[in-house]
Amino acid sequence: MPELSAHIRDVPVNQIREITEAAWRTPGALILSIGEPGFPLPRHVLDAGIACLDRDETNYTPNAGIPQLREAFAARFREQSGVDIGADRVYVVDGAQQGLHFAMSLLLAPGDEILIPNPGYPTFAMTSRLLHAVPVQYPLYPAHDFQPRIADIEALITDRTRVLMLNSPSNPLGAVLREDLTRELVELARRHDLWIISDECYEAFTYDVPHVSPARFDSTDPGEARVFTSLTLSKTYGLTGLRIGALVCPPGLEQRMNNVMEAIVSCVASPSQYAALAALTGPQDYVSQAHAHYRANRDAASAVLAEKGIPFLSAQGAFYLWADVSHVSGGNVRAWVKRFLAEAGVSFAPGTAFGSIGEGWIRIALCGDQRELVEGVGRLPRR
């Protein structure tokens, strides 16, 4: 057969899926390797999607989404971020991953560089490579609590650098960017005339610290604004399979956004949009209950790790713990998690799924049953 495009060979294996699919094939495995919310969806959300099908509202919607959903996303963003945006800047997307692809498609030409965190979510690199761009990793070091340093990022900027990728709360780290650092990162992007893509999938889940969106420090001038914000309902409301999120764009890009959306996916499925509208505008019990559950799970798993003497980053957000298993992983944590699954029946995401600095670390998902979480973490070898 003809060969695939050369750049496809540079797209790495997603090690999270690799270990999780192995766990799905392992009878009785405790699966702590994937961030899948475990609560049933609220009835009013399901009913809204079903009602859309019942009335046969299954035609195309506008590229940017149904107007009332765009306004609901804008209202939530105004409330959560303190940024006064209108619905005209909100584009409903087929999950946050499609939103990231959408933003990168707008901003990156072949050979352009995008600065991504190391450790950071693996599709940041995968998606940019699909677009013939070059991902350049900026380091997040344990010695600095995995927070970015301006000097480290600035040293990597070249005349090909176009985009700075930010993620707070962080997947995989659970780290949250401080307000002063967030402001400095936006100023760095302005100084070097870079775009910012801010992945804020976990904005609803922070613990004792605020979530601060980079959009708060962006310019309102269409000629100077530079922040794209990626949002999703997958984590906030557990709508992972409905594939629904939003991309908030800088002002002045509406027509170009429509053109690109048409080329990528045209529009999002209407039942998902109406379910999302119900989630955003209806009772918020799901979010508050999920927040309390994740926090309790974080505390329970942290206690087990501390008792075993295993170092970990105290998560300030998201629903993951980042733990150091270098005392047993032997310099190859990817191989070790496979052995641990086979021998102990527990799956964790290897730190190398998120970048080279993740060697010796694992990501522990906190979103499932607490008893299984404590049991799974309890099987880790003592340090």
Beta-carbon contacts of residue 247 (< 8 Å; ≥ 6 apart): 90, 91, 93, 99, 102, 103, 228, 229, 230, 231
Residue range 6-41+285-378, CATH number: 3.90.1150.10
Residue 34's nearest CA partner among 235, 230, 290 is 235
309 vs 335: CA distance, rounded Å: 22
Give me the residue label for tokens 């707008």.
106
Alpha carbons 53 and 167: distance in angstroms, whole number: 35
Contacts of 251 (CB under 8 A, 6+ apart): 89, 220, 222, 225
Domain boundaries, the chain: 6-41+285-378, 43-281
CATH number of 43-281: 3.40.640.10
pLDDT for the residue 252: 87
How high is the pLDDT of residue 8?
Answer: 81
From first to last of the 383 residues of the chain, give the pLDDT tens digit: 888 888 887 777 889 999 999 999 999 999 999 988 888 999 999 999 999 999 999 999 999 999 999 999 999 999 999 999 999 999 999 999 999 999 999 999 999 999 999 999 999 999 999 999 999 999 999 999 999 999 999 999 999 999 999 999 999 999 999 999 999 999 999 999 999 999 999 999 999 999 999 999 999 888 899 999 999 999 999 999 999 999 999 998 888 898 899 999 999 999 999 999 999 999 999 999 999 999 999 999 999 999 999 999 999 999 999 999 999 999 999 999 999 999 999 999 999 999 999 999 999 999 999 999 999 999 999 99
pLDDT of residue 7: 80
Distance CA 69, CA 202 (A): 20
